Amino acid sequence: MTLRNQLFLAICLFLLVAFSGSFFVSLESSREQTLSQLRAHAQDAATALGLSLSAQPDDPARMESMVSAVFDSGYFSSIRIIDIANEQTLLERSAPAKSAHVPRWFIRLVKLRPEGGDALIMRGWQQAARIEVVSNPQFALDKLWDSTVGSLIWLLLCGLLSAVIGGWMLRRQFRPLDKMVRQAEAISKREFLSQSKLPRTPELKRVVLAMNQMVEKLKGLFAEEAVRSEQLRAESYLDSLTQLANRRLLDEQLADQLQVCEQSRDGHLLMLRINDLAGLNQRLGGQGTDELIGAVAELLKRLTQLPERRTWLAARNRGGEFSLLAPGLDIPGAARLVAEISVTLENMRLSGASDCMPVAHLGIVAYHPGEAASDVLLRLDQSLTEAAQHPERPWVQLSRSDSMVNHSQHEWRTWIDDALTQGKLQLYFQPVVQCSDTRQVLHHKVLARLLDPEGEAIAAGHFLPWIERLGWSARFDLAMLEATLDYLVINRWPLALSLSGSTLRDQAQVRQIVDLLQSLPELAPLLTLEIDERQLPSPQELQRLTHSVLDTGYSIGLQHFGGRFSQIGNITQLGLAYLKIDGAYVRSIDQQPDKRLFIDAIFRATHSIDLPLIAEMVETQGELEVIRELGIFGAMGRLIGAPEPM
């Protein structure tokens, strides 16, 4: 029973006891007073009759008329005149003592007995007769009953009014307690809320202040660790001058893209090299050269800020050499990209950055999953050399032909539309396990393959870029969600499903997904929706999205996390189920101590708010041992298990 109900019941019991005590005290007092009045009433009537009849004691007619007159005008049970000489009754009038509307239980409870009085009829100095008068308590019972009912109604009205006012006051006083309950529940969901409005009650005010202090301390601990994590990331993976990625992060991401896995996709790698950097230093000075480098960096940053390019990576290799990793970029898109960059660089030259030659040379090559990074970089150097020899055009060099790449856009559109319309989706599942016990499966990551016209299952890395170009990401996500929910209706085990960034930015599609989730609340404990850190919406939209999903009972997680706490916004308000660390920061962690230091900083930040970490793309036993030592909660990758159809 809740405290509110207990206090409300205590108030009701107090009112009941108060009413009962008041009722019985009042009833006993009224009873004694009424008995005295009945006794006096009977005695007065007897005395009056005795005096009146003593004048003519031997006149029976007068005696009868006077007795009848007194009996009929008062409330008496009986009036008797008894001859003293022989104790015979000379005259008697009586009536039964009944009350029409007083219940019997009240009569038995009150026990208001009849009271009597007597007097003598004198014949001179001799006693002729005795008068005995017994009063009738009917009138007193009626009045006592009416008084009791009135008191009961009044006390009940007072009790009802007290209960209403007391309940309102209790609800008002318990509002801070309800808010503290929501605070505690939010903490269990890894959200940290503070109460801005303090209660007036001193005791509750102290408790609320203590809760707010605890919440602020937890938020402060997380903020400190998050800042430390971002500082380590900046020191390890960012260029200090341009704040672009450094060569190390570029190599990690390129190796990640070249791995053969479900999410692997073709793409292009572009390199830009500023001409004659040493000469520019002499002509423009160090500050002017830094401004030129900064302008090129801003150009590359703008290229990666479009929503469909959130997965691209701009990097400064060294000096005046920059790279742009563009996964999913096709050949026509690569040509347009190089043309766009060339026009911007030409404008820089015309504005005076360099008067006698192009500001920079461009080289761009295509890459395919499964290639060696050294081969891609070798082709890129050759492409950059050719571009330097032919400055009139950007140089595009493709590594090799591929049957899927050579398909036309019309062919891709036709068979993807057919696959989505007819439900030609195959679900693959990759296990995610606890690091402490790899036999304990946390959930399975849901991956997709589409069946082409020949019935061959095509991995996501091949068709996802085309789905994005066709603008069908939301359609594909909805089809995957429906297929996953249909699977969960039959097979009840925990799953995790990714949503694309374009879907998250479309409010109509988000509403459709939320409605679908609300229609199947019984599956909520079994499904977690994942969003990519590289495709996040704005912090405000992200917070609305996570709360919409959490309101349906389903969970939400963040994948490909790289320590960018500042881009997520207030992560303590999102209620995330877990974070999955990008595999680029996990690869070779057993051989690179600084990576271990970076992951440890992320762990400290998330551990302060009890947010589990899961390592992606764990490929070796050494990597698993290190993340296990660091306290990482879970792991996934080919070492744990490859994607398989169930």
The DSSP H or E segment spanning 443 is strand 441-451
Torsion of the alpha carbons at 479, 480, 485 and 487, rounded to the nearest 10 = 110
Residue by residue, what is the 3-state secondary structure of 189-206? CCCCCCCCCCCCCHHHHH
pLDDT at 467 over 70: yes
What pLDDT, in 10s, does the model give residues 302-323?
888 887 787 899 999 888 889 9
Residue 487 has a pLDDT of 93
pLDDT at 398 over 60: no
Residue 3 has a pLDDT of 66
Residue keyed to tokens 């962690």 = 589
For residues 13 and 388, the model is more confident at 13
Residue 407 has a pLDDT of 55
Which range among 49-53, 202-206, 251-255 has the greatest average pLDDT? 251-255
Residue keyed to tokens 């269990």 = 188
| CATH architecture for the domain at 3-161 | 2-Layer Sandwich (3.30)
| CATH architecture for the domain at 267-397 | 2-Layer Sandwich (3.30)
What's the average model confidence in pLDDT over 424-432? 90
For residues 177 and 80, the model is more confident at 80
What's the average model confidence in pLDDT over 518-532? 93
Domain boundaries, the chain: 3-161, 267-397, 409-645
Residue 404 has a pLDDT of 44
Helices (H) and strands (E) in the chain, counts: 18, 19
Dist. CA 542–CA 374, nearest whole Å: 38
Residues in the chain: 646
pTM as predicted: 0.68
Task: Read off the pLDDT band of 262 (50, 70, 90).
Answer: low
Task: Read off the pLDDT band of 354 (50, 70, 90).
Answer: very low
Provide φ and ψ at 284, rounded to 5°.
-100, -20
The DSSP H or E segment spanning 45 is helix 3-54
Residue 401 has a pLDDT of 43
pLDDT at 53 over 90: no
636 in helix, strand or coil? coil
Task: Read off the pLDDT band of 402 (50, 70, 90).
Answer: very low
Residue 441 has a pLDDT of 94
Dist. CA 632–CA 290, nearest whole Å: 41
Mean pLDDT of the chain: 82
Task: Read off the pLDDT band of 524 (50, 70, 90).
Answer: very high
What's the average model confidence in pLDDT over 541-564? 88
Residue 400 has a pLDDT of 47
CA atoms within 13 A on the CB side of 592: 13
Dist. CA 278–CA 156, nearest whole Å: 98
pLDDT at 8 over 50: yes
C-alpha to C-alpha distances, 63 to 74, 75, 81, 95, 132, nearest whole angstrom: 17, 19, 9, 19, 14
| Percent above pLDDT 70 for the chain | 93
| CATH architecture for the domain at 409-645 | Alpha-Beta Barrel (3.20)
Task: Read off the pLDDT band of 440 (50, 70, 90).
Answer: very high
* Beta carbons of 476 and 503 less than 8 angstroms apart: no
Dist. CA 478–CA 504, nearest whole Å: 12
pLDDT at 452 over 70: yes
DSSP summary character for residue 618 = -
Task: Read off the pLDDT band of 353 (50, 70, 90).
Answer: very low
Judged by average pLDDT, the poorest of 81-95, 326-340, 545-559, 577-591 is 81-95
* Beta carbons of 84 and 50 less than 8 angstroms apart: no
Sign of CA dihedral 321, 327, 331, 336: negative
Residue keyed to tokens 């050759």 = 382
Dist. CA 384–CA 274, nearest whole Å: 11
Residue keyed to tokens 């703008």 = 302
What's the average model confidence in pLDDT over 13-29? 78
What pLDDT, in 10s, does the model give residues 64-100?
888 888 877 767 778 888 888 788 888 888 877 665 5
Dist. CA 294–CA 348, nearest whole Å: 12
For residues 455 and 128, the model is more confident at 128
What's the average model confidence in pLDDT over 143-158? 81
Dist. CA 141–CA 99, nearest whole Å: 8
Residue 98 has a pLDDT of 62
